[in-house]
Amino acid sequence: MNLKKIPMQTTTIMVYLFCYVTFFLFSWISKINNSQRLINDEGIFTSNPRNLIGFHIMGIIWIGIIPIVLLKHSIWKVLIGNEILDRSFVFLYILIFILILTIVFKQSKYASQKTQEPFKSTVHLSSPFFISYFIVRVLFLFVYELWFRGFLLFDSIGWVGINAAVTGNVFLYVLLHIFNSKKEMLACIPFGILVCFLSILFNAAWPAIILHIGVSLVYELTIYRSYLYPSKIARL
């Protein structure tokens, strides 16, 4: 055992723990203030648009900027990897990507129909807010997956092996969704395993990043378009 690596590994674990616990607390507070999600489980838009943007910005800082500065990992290496892409893997990824987005699109259409009446009775949000939100949302999901299925996953594999690393990664991912519905928590298990598998397959975080961003945008934009003309506008 290389004793010199022990202090470095301990420091890295403490950085991960610090960032995760802090972000967990942010998620808890945001859930209480109805500012964690654009659309809640009842299909109602957030009543705190400023706080929602703030939550995403804090997420970018705590699981994006701070880990990058403290861990000093190579973003490019973790993001892109250093292996030549296998065409069969790329083809598999494209099939998975299309399948998942098709399922999400159908779910979002069902959700918009199911929650149509609650939406009509709520305050809607302005177009400038949505433009700002979706830009920040994409940046947030980028650093979110770079942290989870990039830095944390690959460091964990080096420490405890693939099986334990994936199990721990999915557990922490599901735990962050404890403030949401049981259905969403359960959905995080197969999705978490899938994005871990894709990142390991390509030895890079970009597959998880692209898939998560695609899923989020398809779901939220589909529901938003269904309620594009509200009777009352809430300015950001």
| pLDDT tens per residue, range 87-119 | 999 999 999 999 999 999 988 887 776 655 555
For residue range 30-79, list pLDDT tens digits in order.
888 878 888 776 667 777 888 899 999 999 999 999 999 999 888 999 99
Q: Whose CA is closest to 158, among 60, 71, 80?
A: 71
Q: At what angle do helices 206-226 and 87-114 cross, to 10 degrees?
A: 20
* CA neighbours closer than 13 Å in the CB half-sphere of residue 115: 20
In this prediction the pTM is 0.89
| Token pair for 37 | 């999600």
